[in-house]
Amino acid sequence: MTVRAPVSLLPLLWPATDADCTPLARVWRRAWCSANPSVASVAPPDHWEARVRAEFGPPCVTLVRAEGPEVTAFLVLDPAQAHVHQLFVDPDWQGQGVGAELVQQVHRLCPVGWTLHVATANSGARRFYARHGLVEGLVDTHPVTGRERVSCRWLPTLAVAAD
């Protein structure tokens, strides 16, 4: 008799592989559309998958978060720069602590501090990062998209001061 582990015992977080490209692209596109509802035209899924293949590799580490077989979120981290390039949660999983789990993972991987950029228009993400102790800094424009963004920084000393 073969005993199978319950779904809840499956790994919830793992380093991305080539097999993860399509589900990562799906989550990225869905979350991006949710955060940008006024955008009239969104690139097709194959565009997002090509970007995953081009942008989520070394020197970055991509971590996939899943609930059973369903990919629910991911983060792309450059550990040498302590910079999060991407952190997206599927809209169906937002507000359930999934993003907070990923932020905690970044804290563990970058305990002396880390940075990220967030679109200035993405007020939900800005509130989320502020709740998790990130402090906003300079506003600039993304070098490829031209969208306005704000830099955010987490330092353990800032997090302690906020408590």
Tens of pLDDT, residue by residue over 76-123, are 999 999 999 999 999 999 999 999 999 999 999 999 999 999 999 999
The model's confidence at residue 2, banded by pLDDT at 50, 70 and 90, is very low
> Which amino acid is present at 41?
S
Between CA 148 and CA 51, with CA 124 as vertex, the angle to 5 degrees is 55
Q: What is the mean pLDDT of residues 69-79?
A: 94
Report the interhelical angle of 21-35 vs 45-55 (nearest 10°): 110
pLDDT tens digit string along 12-31? 889 999 999 999 999 999 99
Provide the mean pLDDT of the chain.
89
Q: What pLDDT shows up at residue 146?
A: 87
- The predicted model scores a pTM of 0.87
Token pair, residue 15, equals 């380093």
Token pair, residue 131, equals 């709740």
How far lies 156's CA from each of 2, 75, 88, 95, in Å? 46, 20, 23, 24
pLDDT > 50? residue 4: no
What is the spatial order of strands in the sheet that 83-89 belongs to? 13-15, 61-67, 70-78, 83-89, 114-119, 148-154, 135-141
Residue 21 and residue 64: Cα distance in Å, rounded? 10
Q: How many residues does the chain have?
A: 163
Q: What is the dihedral of CA 150, 155, 159, 160, to 10 degrees?
A: -150
Burial of 41 (0-12, 13-18, 19+ CB in 10 A): exposed
Backbone phi, then psi, for 4, in 5-degree steps? -100, 140
